[in-house]
Structure 1
Amino acid sequence: MPPAIAARPRDARGYPVLAITPWRGGVPDFAVTSPARILVCAVERRCSICGLPLGKGPVWRVVAADEAAVIAAEPGHVENAAGTVEPPGHRSCMLYAAVVCPWLARPNARRRLDAEGAGLHVPRGEARGAVGEIGGAVVAFDTYEFTVGERVEFRYRGLVDFLPHLLGEEHVQALRDAPHREVEPVEACPPWLLSDETAAQERALRYQ
Structure 2
Amino acid sequence: MDEIPMPAPVAERPRDARGYPVLAITPWSDGKPDFAVTSTARILVCAVERRCSICGTPLRKGPVWRVVAAEEAAAISVHDNAAYTNYANTAQTVEPPGHHACMLYAAIVCPYLARPTARRGNDALVPEAEFRRGEVHGSLDGMTGAVVAFDTYEFEAGETVRFRFSGLREFLPYTLGDEHLVALRDAIAAQPTAEPCPPWLLDDESSAERRAAGYA
Q: TM-score, normalised by structure 1?
A: 0.96
**Structure 1 pair 118/100, CA: closer, same or farther in 2 (3 Å)?**
farther
| Structure-to-structure mapping, 1:109-148, within 5 angstroms | 109-117=118-126, 119-148=128-157
**Structure 1 pair 14/47, CA: closer, same or farther in 2 (3 Å)?**
same
Tell me how far 1:102 sits from its aligned partner: 0.2
Contact 1:61 1:140 (8 Å CA) reproduced: yes
Q: Deviations over 1:153-181 (max 9, x none)?
A: 00000001000000101011111121222
Q: Which letter does structure 2 place at the counterpart of 1:155?
A: R
Structure 2 residue 106 is the aligned partner of structure 1 residue 97: yes
Q: Distance in 2 between matches of 1:54 and 1:117?
A: 26
Contact 1:142 1:158 (8 Å CA) reproduced: yes
**Structure 1 pair 41/119, CA: closer, same or farther in 2 (3 Å)?**
farther
Q: What is the RMSD computed on CA atoms of the aligned residues? A: 1.1
Off by >3 Å, runs of 4+ in structure 1 = 116-120
Q: Deviations over 1:91-139 (max 9, x none)?
A: 0000000000000000110112112356532111111111121110000
Paired positions, count: 207
Match of 1:31 in 2: 36
**Structure 1 pair 15/168, CA: closer, same or farther in 2 (3 Å)?**
same
Structure 2 residue 43 is the aligned partner of structure 1 residue 9: no
| Structure-to-structure mapping, 1:1-208, within 5 angstroms | 1-74=6-79, 75-117=84-126, 119-185=128-194, 187-208=195-216
Contact 1:2 1:179 (8 Å CA) reproduced: yes
Contact 1:58 1:140 (8 Å CA) reproduced: yes
Tell me how far 1:195 sits from its aligned partner: 0.2
Moved more, 108-117 or 50-59: 108-117
Q: TM-score, normalised by structure 2?
A: 0.93
Unaligned runs of 5+ in 2: 1-5
Contact 2:146 2:173 (8 Å CA) reproduced: yes
Contact 1:60 1:94 (8 Å CA) reproduced: yes
Q: Distance in 2 between matches of 1:198 and 1:71?
A: 39
Unaligned runs of 5+ in 1: none
Q: Which letter does structure 2 place at the counterpart of 1:73?
A: V
Contact 1:37 1:204 (8 Å CA) reproduced: yes
**Structure 1 pair 136/157, CA: closer, same or farther in 2 (3 Å)?**
same
Contact 1:34 1:117 (8 Å CA) reproduced: no
Partner of 2:215: helix, strand, or coil? Answer: coil
